[in-house]
Amino acid sequence: MRVFVTGAAGFIGFHLSKRLLEKNYEVIAFDNLNPYYDVSLKEERLKQLYLLKEKNNVFFEFFKGSLESFPTLESIFNNNKFDCVVNLAAQAGVRHSLKDPFSYIQSNIVGFENIIELSKRNKIKNFLYASSSSVYGGNIKMPFKEEDQVSHPISLYAATKRSNELIAHSYSHLFNLPTTGMRFFTVYGPWGRPDMALFLFTKAILNGVPINVYNNGDMTRDFTYVDDVVESIFRLLKKPAKKDPDFDNNKPFPNKSWAPYRIFNIGNSNQTPIMKYISEVEQSLGINAKINFQPLQPGDVKATYSQTSDLDEWINFKPKTSIKKGVKNFVDWYLEYYN
């Protein structure tokens, strides 16, 4: 199977590409290597993929470009035949969307439209894309279920991800394109993003610098280890969305359809207090953190918590890596990578 992975130099994209190559899948990788965070980390991830290509003698090719460039994407589609597309490229970050909204519109909406349109034209058998737990926005009923309404985003980032889900449904309906949206819940692990909490906490604690903890520490997250996310995507690749014969138009749940369209939560199904998360970092490092408590930031939510029974039923897998194991794996990687 040949898979087109966008955002392949990113955190999840790298881990997915690595898994696919280890399983002898053919991978066409795409990324713009933008400077939203340390480009050298992205380049090192790509280096790891090239090393794996040489070691296992598998097909891997990388293209640098932006989703916003339709001609660039069109050329790649014209010169390569894909079975599946996994769109993980996006402008990430809730807080950054308050500072630079236009980059989110370009990458997450214009770019998304480009790649789903080309997937339709090229009759892709399975189109998967990254959504986010952020789409649940102002919802307070826990746990978050895919059938919940998601009409009240509290950040532009969340709004763009919900837009992706709506655009995908229109393509599934109009063109019979199987689309699967994946609502990721706070993914963490080795090779993670430097702008995310675990990376920031670890770096600050090692340097003796206070860490900022928002909402005065009264926050919980459904932290999900990256290997569990990759396992979920890997299984979803082999099981495209199908039409739901029991779909009821009088009670139209937003996660299924009469069209080949599905949305799944991909989370650990645990609410971990942020202070517990910090405690695990402290234990892994053997150093106590200095904490600077801050108010809740605009666009942030107080809690996330996923229900993943639909995912488990669909692919017979449920993310389950413990916080203790996942944080230790990250810290071990961090200490080795940064010497």
Residues with catalytic roles: 157
- Rounded-to-integer distance, Cα 102 and Cα 108, Å: 10
Beta-strand relationship, 220-221 and 272-273: antiparallel
- Rounded-to-integer distance, Cα 58 and Cα 29, Å: 13
- Rounded-to-integer distance, Cα 75 and Cα 87, Å: 17
Residue of 18, 115, 105 whose CA lies nearest to 67 = 115
* Integer CA distances (angstroms), 85 to 29, 127, 177, in order: 10, 5, 11
